[in-house]
């Protein structure tokens, strides 16, 4: 069908829905807007689906939610006994999250699949834990994570508590594509409850067990309770689902001086106090937290995103200025703290391993090697870290110690199989307390101590936002052009090898090749002469190309200069394409 035929079909199919009809009639005559909404269906992949809220095939709305759910139900019902275990459903504070979650539950019930629906918003890591805790067949979270407020999304988890892999996603997609929007129905809510198919999860049924297992991951609880009671922290949940669990875990572990940004405490799908996306990677997201921290004299600031799987941290430096740590810096501080303290206590297994991604800092490797710990690098996406945890458990080859992504995601346990902002807040509080006790140092000092020991590693990430059909074509063209004519240098620094994860080949400048063992992915990775590297990849969840630049040297200023030079050259190249 053509774009206009799809548009007219929606008007016909949903003629009984006045809101949808009004929204679609309002864009009649706007060819570009109609094309963007109807040139394709909202894609479903390993990250589920995510898009701008609105009416249309290529938008997040109740009809796409119901259709995706019917597709998931059909996939689960290919094994009826497995489907009887049910699906756990969580949601965050975004607009329509609660409504989409209820529609999800009632669609499952209409298909005969039991649904466990949380009674209020919950973090992603708690949903991941609940899937395993309740022995469910799958899990769903309604969230668009750290995207701008006009977005929402739908993430699917397997029975291991991790986001589904490519094979499962393809199986679900196959059924979704064969399902008509008009074939999706909801069971009456009271009927669903009376039949036992719909079960509402209250605040005691899973939350307490989740909190209990989180506390088992504290390495030095007595030290944390003692020093942490003097640690002054400001926390902002950025209007999201971290508000209750983060405050609870810190309070129960002995953090008494915890001030919360009241303006950002309550759920707000419009994120009306923010001038940027609710992303703790953005310095602007800390504006109100900085003011409160200065007022109360705090030394550390925590910020979690709406679904509380990411954590951003700001600390006071020696000059009394606030310093926003990068995801790599947080990850390396936590990795070093965990490994050093486990070793000191005689609790570091001989087969210990840490896992991070190919776009995360090589400083993690230097730290791991210092403690004789194996470091494994995987593709971007925490599901790949979860795959390694599963491999460790099933084969016994390694013991998982810590996993992190440069995009502010961290995990130190195995009961949750996704990045865990609650876990990360607890760990950073413990690490901050330890540095205070041992050296009378802050986390800013901790970073500098690691640099002095392992080298001054730096990183810089630039995003090129390319929305709509034109944007998709530009991304495809850019990646194709880079493959056909890869750059020979960046700012005069020679490229010594190119890794193409789509063809699974690493090729050196001398023409030598080797096979890459990671799954195929649309990623290009350029190795430079002096241990620096540059990576380019389209985002899997947003309409953008991401550019990663990493460098290392013996001095802070030298590394910054290298980063800026490489980044400027790479940005110029991508803009030309």
Q: Could you give phi then psi for residue 290, rounded to 5 degrees?
A: -60, -45
pLDDT of residue 470 exceeding 90: no
pLDDT of the residue at 263: 98
Cα distance between residue 272 and residue 239, in whole Å: 9
**Strands across the sheet with 322-324, in order?**
257-260, 232-236, 300-304, 311-316, 322-324
Q: In residues, how long is the chain?
A: 577
Going by pLDDT thresholds of 50, 70 and 90, the confidence category of residue 240 is very high
User: What is the mean pLDDT of the segment spanning 498-504?
Assistant: 97
* pLDDT tens digits, one per residue of 29-86: 999 999 999 999 999 988 899 999 999 999 999 999 999 999 999 999 999 999 999 9
CA 239 from chain center: how many Å?
17
- The enclosing H or E element of 57 equals none
Cα distance between residue 330 and residue 427, in whole Å: 10
CB 211 within 8 A of CB 249: yes
* pLDDT tens digits, one per residue of 251-273: 999 999 999 999 999 999 999 99
pLDDT of residue 541 exceeding 80: no
Nearest to residue 60, comparing CAs of 72, 70, 48, 71? Answer: 48
Nearest to residue 145, comparing CAs of 327, 380, 306, 381? Answer: 306
Which residues are part of the catalytic machinery?
145
Cα distance between residue 308 and residue 236, in whole Å: 11
Q: Are strands 300-304 and 232-236 parallel, antiparallel or unpaired?
A: parallel
pLDDT of residue 205 exceeding 90: no
Beta bridge mates, 504: none
pLDDT of residue 540 exceeding 80: no
pLDDT of the residue at 34: 97
* pLDDT tens digits, one per residue of 109-123: 999 999 999 999 999
Strand, helix or coil for residue 352 = strand
CB 412 within 8 A of CB 312: no
Share of the chain above pLDDT 70, in %: 100
pLDDT of the residue at 204: 84
CB 64 within 8 A of CB 184: no
- The enclosing H or E element of 280 equals none
Q: Could you give phi then psi for residue 498, rounded to 5 degrees?
A: -125, 125
User: What is the mean pLDDT of the segment spanning 227-236?
Assistant: 94
Phi-psi domain of 112 (left: phi exceeds 0; alpha: psi -120 through 50; beta: other): left
Radius of gyration of the chain from Cα atoms? 24
Within 26-144, residue ranges assigned H as helices are 31-38, 62-76, 80-83, 97-110, 124-133
pLDDT of residue 572 exceeding 90: yes
Q: Could you give phi then psi for residue 361, rounded to 5 degrees?
A: -60, 145
Share of the chain above pLDDT 90, in %: 94
* pLDDT tens digits, one per residue of 303-353: 999 999 999 999 998 888 999 999 999 999 999 999 999 999 999 999 999
CB 428 within 8 A of CB 380: no
Q: Could you give phi then psi for residue 173, rounded to 5 degrees?
A: -60, -40
pLDDT of the residue at 92: 98
* pLDDT tens digits, one per residue of 161-182: 999 999 999 999 999 999 999 9
CB 261 within 8 A of CB 236: yes
pLDDT of residue 468 exceeding 90: no
């Amino acid at each position: 069908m053509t774009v206009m035929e799809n548009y007219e079909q929606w008007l016909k199919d949903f003629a009984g829905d006045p809101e949808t009809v009004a929204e679609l009639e309002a864009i009649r005559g706007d060819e570009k807007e109609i094309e963007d909404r109807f040139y394709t269906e909202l894609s479903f992949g390993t990250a589920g689906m995510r898009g701008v809220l609105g009416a249309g095939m290529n938008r997040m709305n109740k009809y796409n939610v119901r259709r995706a759910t019917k597709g998931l139900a059909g996939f689960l019902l290919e094994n009826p006994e497995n489907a009887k275990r049910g699906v756990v459903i969580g949601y965050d504070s975004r607009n329509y999250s609660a409504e989409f979650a209820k529609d999800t539950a009632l669609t499952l019930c209409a298909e005969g699949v039991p649904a466990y629906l949380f009674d209020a918003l919950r973090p992603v890591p708690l949903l991941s834990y609940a899937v395993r805790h309740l022995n469910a067949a799958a899990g769903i979270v309604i969230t668009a994570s750290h995207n701008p407020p006009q977005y929402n999304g739908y993430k699917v988890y397997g029975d291991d508590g991790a986001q589904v892999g490519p094979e499962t996603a393809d199986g679900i997609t196959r059924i979704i594509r064969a399902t008509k929007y008009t074939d999706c129905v909801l069971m009456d809510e009271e009927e669903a409850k009376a039949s036992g198919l719909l079960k509402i999860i209250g605040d005691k049924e899973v939350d307490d067990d989740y909190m209990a297992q989180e506390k088992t991951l504290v390495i030095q609880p007595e030290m944390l309770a003692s020093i942490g009671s003097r640690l002054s922290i400001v926390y902002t949940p950025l209007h999201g689902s971290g508000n209750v669990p983060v405050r609870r875990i810190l309070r129960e572990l002995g953090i008494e001086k915890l001030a919360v940004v009241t303006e950002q405490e309550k759920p707000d799908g419009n994120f009306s106090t923010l001038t940027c996306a609710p992303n703790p990677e953005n310095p602007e997201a800390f504006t109100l937290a900085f003011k409160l921290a200065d007022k109360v004299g705090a030394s550390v600031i925590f910020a979690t995103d709406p679904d509380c799987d990411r954590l951003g941290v700001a600390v006071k430096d020696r000059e009394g200025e606030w310093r926003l740590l990068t995801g790599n810096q947080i990850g390396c501080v936590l990795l070093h703290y965990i490994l050093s303290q486990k070793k000191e206590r005689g609790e570091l297994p001989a087969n210990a391993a840490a896992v991070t991604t190919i776009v995360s800092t090589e400083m993690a490797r230097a730290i791991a090697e210092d403690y004789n710990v194996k470091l494994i690098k995987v593709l971007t996406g925490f599901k790949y870290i979860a795959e390694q945890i599963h491999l460790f458990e099933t084969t016994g080859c390694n013991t998982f110690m810590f996993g992190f992504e440069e995009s502010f995601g961290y995990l130190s346990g195995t009961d949750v199989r996704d990045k865990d902002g609650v876990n990360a807040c607890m760990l950073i509080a413990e690490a901050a307390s330890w540095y205070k006790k041992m050296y009378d140092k802050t986390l800013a000092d901790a970073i500098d101590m690691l640099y002095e020991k392992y080298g001054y590693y730096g990183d810089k990430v630039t995003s090129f936002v390319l929305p709509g059909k034109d944007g998709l074509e530009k991304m495809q063209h850019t990646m194709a052009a880079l493959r056909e004519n890869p750059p020979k240098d960046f700012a005069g620094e020679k490229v010594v090898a190119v890794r193409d994860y789509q063809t699974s080949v690493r090729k050196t400048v001398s023409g030598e090749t080797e096979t890459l063992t990671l799954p195929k992915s649309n990623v290009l990775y350029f190795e430079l002469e002096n241990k620096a590297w540059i990576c380019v990849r389209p985002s899997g969840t947003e309409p953008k190309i991401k550019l990663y630049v990493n460098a290392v040297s013996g001095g802070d200023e030298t590394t910054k200069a290298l980063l800026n030079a490489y980044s400027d050259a790479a940005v110029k190249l991508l803009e030309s394409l």
